[in-house]
Amino acid sequence: MKQLVFIVMAMLGMPLLAQGPIVPDSVIYDYCEEMPEFPGGIDKMLEFIADSIHQPLCVQEGKVKGRCVAEMIVEKDGSLSDIKIVRSLYNDLHKECDAEAIRVLKSMPKWKPGRQRGKPVRVKYVWYVQF
């Protein structure tokens, strides 16, 4: 009798296991099967940034050049959230460059979201903003 109960329970649980593990909505992937993509691809993204960015005065005067590193989350619906600078230009001396990078990233249209096993997922994305 115990074997029969165990077999029935195992058979009822099989469809759940076949679907794979249940992933909570709060999981943020560093990498997934289909990575997020800006609408139109990387070339359109570079074009968008070039058209949108306003070089701060310190960059225009030639005092500063380089890049800052921004991190963001591409949400399941393609929107961007948690945009932050993880490495400033010249060790935090030029906050106007950081602010401009954040402004441009916040103004981006929705992306094509990342997908894992065919379902949209949240993905962390790192971008270098060149000044």
Is there a domain that residue 33 lies in? Answer: yes
Give the predicted TM-score (pTM) of the model: 0.74
Residues 100, 101, 104, 106, CA torsion sign: negative
Is there a domain that residue 42 lies in? Answer: yes
Closest by CA position to 51, among listed 122, 104, 110, 94: 104
Is there a domain that residue 9 lies in? Answer: no
Is there a domain that residue 118 lies in? Answer: yes
Provide the β-strand partners of residue 69.
87, 128
CATH at residue 65: 3.30.2420
Domain total of the chain: 1
Is there a domain that residue 82 lies in? Answer: yes
Closest by CA position to 130, among listed 109, 92, 105, 101: 101
Is there a domain that residue 7 lies in? Answer: no
More confident residue, 29 or 3: 29
pLDDT (tens digit, 9 = 90+) per residue, 19-58?
555 556 779 999 999 999 999 999 999 899 889 988 776 6
Contact (Cβ atoms closer than 8 angstroms) between residue 110 and residue 39: yes
Is there a domain that residue 4 lies in? Answer: no
Is there a domain that residue 55 lies in? Answer: yes
